Amino acid sequence: MALDDAFVRIPEGWFQMGSDDGAAEERPVHRVWLEAFELAVYPVTCRAYARFLQASGHEPPREWPHFSTIPERPVVGVSWFDCQAYCQWRASEGAPVRLPTEAEWERAARGGVEGQRYPWGDAIPAWIPEGGRGPLEAAWPVTLGEPNPFGLFGIAANVHEWCADWYASDYYQFSPTHQPAGPDRGVRRASRGGSWRHAVTLSRCAARSRIDPSFRYTDYGFRVARSGA
C-alpha cells in the first residue's frame, strides 16, 4: 500500500479537548463527542503531491524544487487553498478526502490517552531530529520515528498541519459538545502541531495555531481525513 493510501480508524467517543496549563485559547478544557472517522497515517508526501501537480496543472508549492528532492518528505509550502484543491482532485479520482477539523486532529493526536502532553507521552522523544531543538534544513521523511497509540506517524511534529476550521481564540467558550467544526467565519484558518522548525513549542496535543489561509510557509503541510469510518 502506498504511504498516502494508508489510513487508520479513529473511533467514535468522548475526549477532553484543550488544556488548563497552556495558552488562554486552549481553555477551558471541555468534553467533546466525535463520530468515527479515518485519518491518514502520514502527512501528504511530496510524491503524492507531485502526482496531483502533474494531473491538475496546479501551481507548485513555495520552493518546490528544493523541498521536493526526497519524495517521502511531507509536502510543504502549501496554502489552505492548495490543500482544498488537492482534496478536490483526490475526490475526482474516486478517493474523497478532506482536511480534519481541529477537534478531530486533537482527538487523533491524543491517541485515546487522556492527559498526556504530546502524542507520544509527556516528553519529546529521542527520534525527533536534534530533539526538536536544533537547526534543520527541511522536514524529515514521514516514516521516521514511532507512531502514536492510534498508529499515526509524525503528528504534532515534522510539519504544521492545516485544519478545516476558521480560527477564533475564544471558540472553546461557545463551541458545541458534538462534532465542533469551528466558527462560521473568520480571518485565519486553524492549524495544529509542531514542525521541523518548531517541534517543541507547538507539539503539545492541545496547542493551537492559525495563519492566513493564503500563506505558503515552508514548515506547513497537511494530513487528510475521511468521513464515515
- Spell out the domain ranges in the chain: 3-227
pTM, entire model: 0.95
- Residue 225 contacts residue 40 (beta carbons within 8 Å): yes
Looking at residues 47-62, what average pLDDT do you find?
A: 97
The cell 475526482 sits on which residue? 92
Query: For residue 33, what are the contacts with CB-CB under 8 A and spacing of at least 6?
Result: 12, 13, 14, 177, 178, 179
Model confidence over 163-200: pLDDT tens digits? 999 999 999 999 999 999 999 999 999 999 988 887 66
Residue 129 has what pLDDT?
Answer: 62
Query: For residue 205, what are the contacts with CB-CB under 8 A and spacing of at least 6?
Result: 19, 106, 109, 110, 116, 117, 118, 119, 156
Model confidence over 4-40: pLDDT tens digits? 999 999 999 999 999 998 999 999 999 999 999 999 9
Looking at residues 147-165, what average pLDDT do you find?
A: 95
Among 3.90.1150.10, 3.40.50.1460, 3.90.1580.10, 3.40.50.2000, name the CATH number for the domain at 3-227. Answer: 3.90.1580.10
Looking at residues 70-94, what average pLDDT do you find?
A: 97
Residue 203, phi then psi, degrees to nearest 5: -85, -10
